[in-house]
Amino acid sequence: MFGSERSLSYRLKRDIIQNRELYILALPILLFYILFHYKPMYGAIIAFKNFSPAKGIMNSPWAGLRHFKDFFSSVYFGRVLKNTLIISITQLIFGFPAPIILALLINELRNRAFSRTVQTIGYMPHFISLVVLCGMIKQFTSDSGFITLLLSHVGLKKQTMLNQSGLFVPIYVISGIWQNMGWGSIIYLAALTGIDPELYDAAKIDGAGRWKQTLYVTIPCLLPTIIILLILRTGNILSVGSEKIILLYNPAIYKTSDVISSYVYRQGLLNSDWSYSTAVGLFNSVVNFALVVTVNKISRKTSEISLW
């Protein structure tokens, strides 16, 4: 009672004295977050300046919204935004259902040993590093690669596939499914084992066959997991990572493969256009944040499922 009437600073002082050790232990954690998360957030103000490393963040002259205007009026704005969206949405349409279907099929297996084998092999590609995966893609889809050769039977040109702008998105998405479908199914398999067997018994008594059981028991039980992951994916629709793009693309196909993050990397780190690239990155961060918050709000209203 007395405590709540006293001022915040007084209570804080008392708390620090009382829990001195916790505050001391928190210092390294705080230091980490300040140095590597909050300091870069502060550093993002160079998006509104003409930053030069010699002058530093404080002393570089202000530029207002110039860099943002430059970006929005350049041809790159439409191009990288479009590519980011196309890659994200294609990934969502094909990559998102793949692990769900795989998990449902594995769940229908009656032979435990076979089911385990499918899982063990299915998770494997997840552990292949991105550099190695992209190296494999480059080899297999080169003009003499076996995938190029196989596809030449169905009318594809016998040329390096990664030099053909129309093939970048399919290569990116399909290799992603190959690498992550099995791993992605784990979470659904976990949710499937959590389903109460009595629900199936009840459905059987009502005369439901396996198909109907899947439709009316399994899928509704998976729905919360699916929705949560869908929220996450939709919130991240404008954040296609730069790593795999940078490993796979080349100037000949920038038109279809350059995304926001790879553009930021090139302009910033390769061309040292610090302020401009920071502005592009900040635009991306702000839009991503707004998307996550919005999608989460909508989901909380409609389905009472939310991230926080």
Partner 1 sequence: MNNKIRTGIGERVFNVVNILFLIGIMGITLYPMLYVVFASFSTPGRFMMHYGPLWHPLGFDLASYQAVFKNPNIWNGYRNTIFIVVVGVAVNMSLTLLGGYLLSRRNWMFQRVMVLSVIFTMYFSGGLIPFYLTVRDLRLDKTLWSLILPTAISTYNMIIMRTAFAVIPESLEESAKLDGASHFVILTKVMIPLVGPTIAVLVLYYGVGHWNSWFNAMIFLSGVRSKYPLQLILREILIQNSLNDMTMGTGMEDREMIAETIKYAVIVVSTVPILCLYPFLQKYFVKGVMIGALKG
Distance from the Cα of residue 64 to its chain's centroid: 31
Rounded least distance, CB 85 to partner 1, Å: 19
Interface residue with partner 1, options 124, 215, 219, 298 (CB under 8 A) = 124
Cα-based distances in Å from 128 to 64, 94, 102, 131: 44, 21, 20, 8
110 binds partner 1 (CB under 8 A): yes
Please give the torsion angle defined by the CA atoms of residues 292, 298, 302 and 308, in that order, rounded to the nearest 10 degrees.
40
Interface residue with partner 1, options 39, 55, 255, 297 (CB under 8 A) = 39
Judged by beta carbon, residue 90 or residue 288, the one nearer partner 1 is 288
d(CA 107, CA 201): 16
Subset of 40-59 contacting partner 1 (CB under 8 A): 40-44, 46, 53
4 binds partner 1 (CB under 8 A): no
Subset of 236-295 contacting partner 1 (CB under 8 A): 242-243, 246-247, 261, 264-265, 268-269, 274, 277-278, 281-282, 284-285, 288-289, 292-293
Compute how many residues bind partner 1; rule: CB under 8 A.
91
10 binds partner 1 (CB under 8 A): no
As to burial, measured by CB atoms within 10 angstroms (0-12 exposed, 13-18 middle, 19+ buried), residue 226 is middle
DSSP labels for 50-104? Answer: ---TTTHHHHSPB-TTHHHHHHHHSHHHHHHHHHHHHHHHHIIIIITHHHHHHHH
Subset of 60-99 contacting partner 1 (CB under 8 A): none
CA angle 119, 121, 127 (to 5 degrees): 105
Rounded least distance, CB 173 to partner 1, Å: 15
Interface residue with partner 1, options 6, 10, 22, 170 (CB under 8 A) = 22
Judged by beta carbon, residue 91 or residue 278, the one nearer partner 1 is 278
